[in-house]
Amino acid sequence: MEKNTEFALKIKSIREKQKMTLEELAKKSNVNLDVLKAMEGGEIIPSLTPLTKMAKALGVRLGTFLDDMPQLGPVVVRGGKPDHVLYFSGRENVTDASNLEFHSLGAGKVDRNIDPFIIDVDSKEENYELSSHEGEEFIYVLNGTIEVEYGKEKYTVESGDSIFYDSVVPHHLHSDGKPAKILAVLYTPF
């Protein structure tokens, strides 16, 4: 797996500016200490649930973790190919695997309230747990098929379809077994 060095440095920098230890962040965010260590080591970026919990514990918005250089004007991404990719696990406590490639379409935009991504969803997950966090998610399937388990329901969402839901309801998104590509717009309050 490719290392997420820039992300790791950003997380560590934000935490250290607030004079918070990894142990304190783990306790305040309720995120597993091993997951935090793996993130700061650049080994993984886990699912959005721990990131959202960390953002809230640190008093920053989710996008703060993903930004490069802040821009005052609009952010333009040509051909759906942003400059950098982040690798996420679809599972909250997994530190050694990634099945999601996040291409940020808003990195650098100052004071944004939403985070748009193109996400490559590589494989179906068999053993997963539902996770929840504050906010909302809008998913539009560009190609392939995804499955979204939302509460007690399962939804099959195909190319050209969309799903919009409250992230506080336990949920999980994965492919149907073949690679898929989605546009995801996330809102996470802080």
How do residues 29-38 score in pLDDT, each as one tens digit?
988 898 888 8
Most confident option among 47-51, 68-72, 85-89, 174-178? 174-178
Tell me, what's the pLDDT at 73? 62
Q: What gap in Å lies between CA 86 and CA 100, rounded to an integer?
A: 8
Chain segment 60-70, per-residue pLDDT in tens = 877 777 665 55
Most confident among 8-22, 61-75, 90-104, 143-157 (mean pLDDT): 143-157
Question: Is 1 a residue whose pLDDT tops 70?
Answer: no
Q: Find the DSSP H helices in the chain.
A: 5-17, 22-29, 33-40, 48-58
Answering whether pTM is above 0.85, one says no
Dihedral sign from CA coordinates of 152, 157, 161, 163: positive
Give yes or no for residue 44 having a pLDDT over 50: yes
Query: What is the largest distance, in Å, between two alpha-carbon atoms of the chain?
Result: 46
* Rounded distance between C-alpha atoms, residue 107 and residue 83, angstroms: 9
